[in-house]
Amino acid sequence: MTDGGAEGATVESILHTDFLSESVVLAGREGLGRVVDRLNLIENPEGIRFWIGAHDLVLTTGFALAQSTEPLSSFVSAAHSVGVAGIVIHFDEDSTTIDADTRAVADELELPLIAVSESFALDHILARGVRDRARQQVRAMYRSERLRRLLVAKMVAGGGVAELASAAAAELDLAVLMTTSDGRRLATAGSDEEVRALCRSSALDGTGRLKTDSTDGGLGLRTTDEGAIAVCAISANGIDHGRVAAFSRHRQLSTQDLYAVDAAAAVFALAVTRDLALSTIEEKHRANFLRDLLLGRGGEHAHAVAHAQRFGWNIGRPVVVVVIEPAPGDDVTRQAPDRMPLVDRQMMAFSGALAQRDPSAAIAALGTETVIMMGAGPNTVNAIRDIIESVRGDGGGGRQPFAVGISRPCTSVEDIPGIYGQARTALKVGRQIYGTWAVTAFDDLGVFRLLSLVENDDELTSFTKETLHELTEQTVEAQDMRKTLEMLLATNINIAETARNLHFHYNTLRYRVVKLEKILGPFTERPDLRLDLSLALKIMAMRGIDQHM
């Protein structure tokens, strides 16, 4: 790139030279005072972000602009955003005008649009170096087109991201890394030496993730401690699918390399979109079969086990069902059009954590819940809690509150609907008792299992009021007396032990017992009344009745 004008030159001053003496200002006249540092020939408007810079006077042709797939007004807006001084358009017989919308945008942005005729000459002294710049662009376009065709052929032949990364690395003679949008590695290719240098570079963190949210691993060209890196986004339909990074420890990467990596990213986007579509179809079949199992429509045991093996699931062993359900309410991220539904994000997060512990487990998102069917053993509940801890707060839906229910084990496909009901019951009751982050096993429910079968809340409310009387009120005194009653029942009316546990004086507790019996009856003498009181307290804990009495 060669400077094109004297220091302090403006668009207007260049208009007064014989270089642009026969030009016509089409729009943006208010911006003629913009400073020009150099001339820059653009043969491909769609590569504008790679080739132009601030204070460039951009030279292009009407034919080149006509080949763009985007509106010309977008080209003008993009040029303005990087500080271009003006755009000079060489018209020919194939293209002779600029549309009104584009002129309106240029006027609004005060970006000069200048037309020149056939007499325009690129051999003028002000245009020295421009042809070299144009040749660089043409070489980059051919190189990128060759790479694009190569990768498209690989993809059409069924190649996945690993094959595409290998092909790109071989064609560019660089190390190539493909990641998710948050930098998690999906594929790496290139010589071992280059790949090791890339992994050591400051563009990756200690866990091997590309630093997509920092300067070191962000989009564009830069130099790291180990070499040079070019990073482009993999995006399709406005959704950010990941990153492609090219790396070299032997040479400085250029704009031409970044242009080629961007072409590769476009093909990677096609491959990712294809794989997502196929995955969606397969996931639908998985979810449908798992739903059939939970509803008792999976068929005979041997047939269901064999069918599950096609999905990589082992349900011929003892299994438990785990149900994960987000807390009721709106998903705070669902407004974003580029985000998956919360249940799908949570399913993906649990799927990743589950794969490390039980790769033969079944998992699917079913409506408002994620269902897992995994192998049962003596430490199953602890393993599930470990999986939950690895998901909670780690993105992928983990930051949104969810409750978990765990069933008993079963050994037959015919019993799966029953243990699914157990897991649903454990989740429902556990959330009512322990809150939105509850993790509850069916075996831990005790009498709550029976109470959960009573669907008539009015009947439970009536029983609780008739048994506890004013202790159901939402006052500090009533809550304090309920706590005393719970401890008395827990210690089988051992007054001395209850006093110690509640840090009361013995006589103080005796006084409270007398007061409680005036309200509730002689529960210290009647085991049947103590049972009723215990059930009433559990109903309040399980159904939250004390919140609306």
Report pLDDT for 472.
86
Share of the chain above pLDDT 70, in %: 84
Q: Which backbone phi and psi does 19 adopt, to 5 degrees?
A: -60, -45
- Burial level of 364, CB count in 10 A (0-12/13-18/19+)? buried
Sign for the pseudo-dihedral over CA of 438, 444, 449, 450: negative
Measured CA distances, 426 to 99, 454, 538 (Å):
66, 15, 15
Report pLDDT for 265.
87
Report pLDDT for 322.
96
pLDDT tens-place string over residues 249-265: 888 888 888 888 888 88
> What are the residue ranges of helices labelled H in 82-237?
100-109, 130-156, 161-172, 192-200
Report pLDDT for 96.
62
Contact, 175 vs 200, CB < 8 A?
no
Asked if residue 7 has pLDDT above 60, the reply is: no
Angle between the 506-520 and 476-490 helix axes, to the nearest 10 degrees? 100
Report pLDDT for 104.
94
Report pLDDT for 338.
47
Mean pLDDT of 95-111: 87
Asked if residue 44 has pLDDT above 90, the reply is: no
Asked if residue 46 has pLDDT above 70, the reply is: no
Sign for the pseudo-dihedral over CA of 159, 162, 165, 167: negative
Give the three-state DSSP class for 422: helix
Report pLDDT for 395.
43
Sign for the pseudo-dihedral over CA of 145, 147, 153, 157: negative
Q: Which backbone phi and psi does 430 adopt, to 5 degrees?
A: -60, -40
For residue 429, the Cα-to-chain-centroid distance in whole angstroms is 31
Asked if residue 303 has pLDDT above 90, the reply is: yes
Contact, 240 vs 254, CB < 8 A?
no
Q: How confident is the model at residue 94 (pLDDT cuts 50, 70, 90)?
A: low
The number of CA neighbours under 13 Å toward the Cβ of 387 is: 29
Contact, 441 vs 406, CB < 8 A?
yes
For residue 101, the Cα-to-chain-centroid distance in whole angstroms is 37
Q: Is 296 left (phi over 0), alpha (psi -120 to 50) or beta?
A: left
- How many whole angstroms separate alpha carbon 103 and alpha carbon 108? 9
For residue 217, the Cα-to-chain-centroid distance in whole angstroms is 18
Share of the chain above pLDDT 90, in %: 20
Question: Strand 86-90 relative to strand 220-223: parallel, antiparallel, unpaired?
Answer: unpaired
Report pLDDT for 473.
86
Report pLDDT for 75.
85
Report pLDDT for 124.
54
Task: Tell me which H or E stretch contains 364.
Answer: strand 362-366
- How many whole angstroms separate alpha carbon 188 and alpha carbon 199? 10
Token look-up 């039980």 returns 358
pLDDT tens-place string over residues 485-544: 989 988 989 989 989 988 999 888 899 999 999 999 899 888 888 888 888 887 787 655
Asked if residue 80 has pLDDT above 50, the reply is: yes
- How many whole angstroms separate alpha carbon 383 and alpha carbon 347? 17
Asked if residue 214 has pLDDT above 90, the reply is: no
Q: How confident is the model at residue 144 (pLDDT cuts 50, 70, 90)?
A: confident
Which of 6-20, 179-193, 274-288, 423-437 has the least mean pLDDT?
6-20
Report pLDDT for 194.
87
- Is pTM, for the whole model, over 0.75? no
Strand order in the sheet with 228-236: 185-189, 175-179, 239-248, 228-236, 220-223
3-state helix, strand, coil in the chain (%, to 5): 50, 15, 35
- How many whole angstroms separate alpha carbon 117 and alpha carbon 128? 19
Q: How confident is the model at residue 277 (pLDDT cuts 50, 70, 90)?
A: confident
- Higher pLDDT, residue 133 or 338: 133
- Higher pLDDT, residue 18 or 349: 349
Which residues 6+ apart lie within 8 Å of 5 measured at CB?
13, 14, 36, 37, 38, 39, 57, 126
pLDDT tens-place string over residues 362-415: 999 998 899 999 999 888 889 999 888 878 754 444 467 899 999 999 999 999
